[in-house]
Structure 1
Amino acid sequence: MPNLRDHATLHFIVLIWGFTAILGKLITIPAVELVFYRTLIAAILLGFVLVQRRQPFRLSTGAGLKMLGTGMLISAHWILFFASANVSTVSVCLAGMATATLWTSILDPLINWRRIAPFEVFIGLVIIVGLYVVFRFEFDHAVGLVLALVSAMLAALFTVINGRLIKKHNHTVITFYEMAGACLGCILFFPFYVRYFFPKRGLVLVPDAAIDWVYIGILAMVCTVYAYTVAVKLMTKFSPFAINLTVNLEPVYGILLAFLIFGDAEKMTTGFYIGTLIILLAVLAYPYLNKYFEDTKNAWKDRRAEKRAEKQALEKQNTTNQDPALETIKVNR
């Protein structure tokens, strides 16, 4: 049973994740180079953790390739995430990322071959209304919002894939390979990135300010390795429902932090906050509705099982009651 300290720790972890976009805004190097450093440092640190714990991390070729490929999806997600924060604002970036729940409700049934629940369609429509309101009042930030939406879609995709991987493999091993895959993805992307996107500028692997190295270290060690390790530990104390509900507060914490740190630069129109509020209410309602309909479905199954058991017991009783008469007929014959 989680205590008050556990609840505070969980919210602190979500606060750290909300701070990620702010770090991306503060760091001067571009998004691709930033993700390269973040994933490189995270992979090295997680490698040390695995060695220290003597956790075996050798995998079959197929499993290893799946995790490395998923890592490349993660690198694309983070690149678009930081690019969104840089070309627009942290608030716009986090508003777009709040749609990850919508993307998950679409992708999960497609990948895992399950039916789409009616309430998921309703939640999706509400989120679309919220996005329409944001786009209508913040069209100047349309590029940043589109980047965040694609980033949220990729986040939902690798989350669904991880849901399948975690059933067969250790979570730390998965993250190690995915961070390595994300770093490898950045390295493979570098030649195309330089040639087609920024041929004059080239790679920017050295930040303009020394403080950027501190920010990159915080991003990799605190926001990635530390936050992930503690979150996994908290999963042993909290239900998935409680975890997901709290994680949905990440955009709220991030937008508040961005306003406190950047001030008027993060001040948006009233329409933006109305649209974002619609999205957040839908996102926060999702786990409650999911739990309600899941409990209703299980209760309905239990009632059917009870009725089936009662029917079988009644049939058995009727058969037993008829047996003496049948035996009497046999004896008389």
Structure 2
Amino acid sequence: MQNDKLKSYLHFHVIVFIWGFTAVLGALISLNAVPLVWYRMLLASVFILLWIRFKKKSLKVAPKKLLILIVAGLVIAAHWLTFFGAIKVSNVSITLAMLSTGAFFTSILEPIFYKRKFVGYEVLFGLVVIAGLYIIFNVETDYFWGILLGLLSAFLSAVFTMINGKLVHHAAPSVISFYELLTGALGISVYLLIVTFLGDGSKGFNAAFFSISLSDWGYLFILASVCTAYAFIASVAVMKHLSPYTVMLTINLEPVYGILLAFLVFGSDEKMSPQFYYGAAIILATVILNGYLKTKRKINKIS
């Protein structure tokens, strides 16, 4: 049993490391955010469908749950569009620093979704996170739009987490993920068709949209298979052997891994001012402390 926990812990670190690498891949892929996310979601849904067929799982979902899955799919599509959009207009470091505020947004949304009272220290932590963001906004004015898109992406990530928290008890995680990814791809397809026929054809489905370099295909394959399909399925498996606090603490290392990887891959392009790292450290430390206190409260309630 102890050996299973250790293996799961190490495996989960690898998964979080992979998640951190997602942002680097987003910067390496030359495609704009819309086609990048469309290809990612479409390819990942195909990979997960193959997994479902291999495992002989049923794709049946109650009609009411299917409607929620459609909403969740559109939310995760918007999350990834703003995430990769932030990378394209700023860089990996800015985007991941903003993404780390996702846990803060979750702490605000959780009482609304699950109808519980706000906890006093969460309000205080919210003010501390705002202080960290203020430091970053003050010193990284060139990345204003990247910061805004990153924050919006973090908020959408929190909304998606809340929705999935209600869905996970009603269907297999791989089935949920398949419908969400496919819905997201279809939602973007509708947008692209509208843009193609009613708007600027250069931004919709056209020859350039389907003209992708060999290197981009390679990066997209890794992004959709390893960073999306595999990481999702594997994370569900290892979480069964880990405590909520361990999971929370490890996930918060994603921006750390991502920023370090980005610095190794892109070098000086990812080097930020010292104040940026102070602000990012304040946000990350607050998120970790919030997660620790929440987990401790839950343990005390159970005992």
Instruction: Give the TM-score range, shorter chain.
Output: over 0.9
2:174 maps to 1:172: yes
Question: CA RMSD of the aligned region, Å?
Answer: 1.8
Q: CA deviation at 1:290?
A: 0.9
Separation in 1 of the partners of 2:168 and 2:90?
Answer: 35
| 1:9 Cα offset (Å) | 1.3
Query: Structure 1: which 4+ aligned runs deviate by more than 4 Å?
Result: 192-204, 296-299
**What does 1:132-281 correspond to in 2, within 5 Å?**
132-193=134-195, 200-203=202-205, 204-207=208-211, 209-281=213-285
Query: Does the CA contact (< 8 Å) of 1:28 and 1:207 recur in 2?
Result: no
Using the TM superposition, give the Cα deviation of residue 240 of structure 1 relative to its aligned residue in structure 2, in angstroms: 2.1
Conservation of the 8 A alpha-carbon contact between 1:29 and 1:206: no
Q: Does the C-alpha gap of structure 1 residues 200 and 166 become closer, same or farther in structure 2, counting only changes over 3 Å?
A: closer
Following superposition, the deviation at residue 43 of structure 1 comes to: 1.0
Q: Residues 58-108 of structure 1: CA distance to partner in whole angstroms, max 9, x if unpaired?
A: 122221121122111100100110010110010000011000011101111
Residue 36, structure 1, aligned to residue 38, structure 2: yes
Distance in 2 of aligned mates of 1:3 and 1:102: 28
What is the aligned partner in structure 1 of residue 22 from structure 2?
A: 20
Q: Which residue of 2 aligns with 1:285?
A: 289
What is the total number of aligned residue pairs between the two structures?
299
Partner Cα separation in structure 1 for residue 70 and residue 203 of structure 2 = 29
Q: Which deviations, in whole Å up to 9, do the C-alpha atoms of 1:134-153 show, x marking residues without a partner?
A: 00100110100100100110
Q: Is the Cα–Cα contact under 8 Å of residues 135 and 275 in structure 2 kept in the other structure? A: yes
1:219, distance to aligned residue in structure 2 (A): 0.2
Distance 1:103 1:178, change over 3 A: same
Q: Is the 8 A contact 1:84 1:93 kept in 2?
A: yes
1:84 is aligned to 2:81: no
Which whole-Å CA distance do the structure 2 matches of 1:40 and 1:154 have between them? 20
**Is residue 193–residue 204 contact of structure 2 (8 Å, CA) maintained in 1?**
no
Structure 1 stretches lacking a partner, 5+ long:
300-333
**Deviates further, 214-223 or 26-35:** 26-35
Q: Give, in angstroms, the shift of residue 182 of structure 1.
A: 0.9
Asked which structure has the greater CA Rg, the reply is 1
Contact 2:173 2:233 in 1 (8 A): no
CA distance in 2, matches of 1:276, 1:88: 16
CA distance in 1, matches of 2:198, 2:245: 44
> Quick one: structure 1 residues 198 and 272, their matched pair in 2 at CA, closer, same or farther if it must change by over 3 Å?
farther
Match of 1:96 in 2: 98
- Please give the TM-score of this superposition, normalised by the length of structure 2: 0.93
Distance 1:197 1:99, change over 3 A: farther
Counterparts in 2 of 1:66 and 1:128: CA distance versus 1, 3 Å? same
- Structure 1 position 119, deviation (Å): 1.8
Mark the CA change 1:293 to 1:208 in structure 2 (over 3 Å): closer, same or farther.
same
Aligned-pair CA distance for 1:249: 0.7
SS in 2 for 1:167: coil
CA-CA distance at 1:120 after TM superposition: 1.5
Partner of residue 121, structure 1: 123
5+ residue gaps, structure 2, are none
Shift of 1:262: 0.2
Q: How does 1:45-84 map to 2 (within 5 A)?
A: 45-84=47-86
In the alignment, residue 255 of structure 1 is paired with which amino acid? I
Supply the distance in 2 between the matched residues of 1:236 and 1:279 (Cα, whole angstroms): 28
SS for the counterpart of 1:59 is coil
Q: Distance in 2 between matches of 1:297 and 1:3?
A: 24
Superposed displacement of residue 287, structure 1: 1.7
Q: Tell me the distance in 1 between the aligned counterparts of 2:139 and 2:218.
A: 36
User: 1:130-174 CA deviation, whole Å, 9 max, x = no partner?
Assistant: 100000100110100100100110000010011011122221111
d(CA) in 2 for partners of 1:29 and 1:130? 31
**One-letter code aligned to 2:279:** G
What is the percent sequence identity of the aligned residues? 40
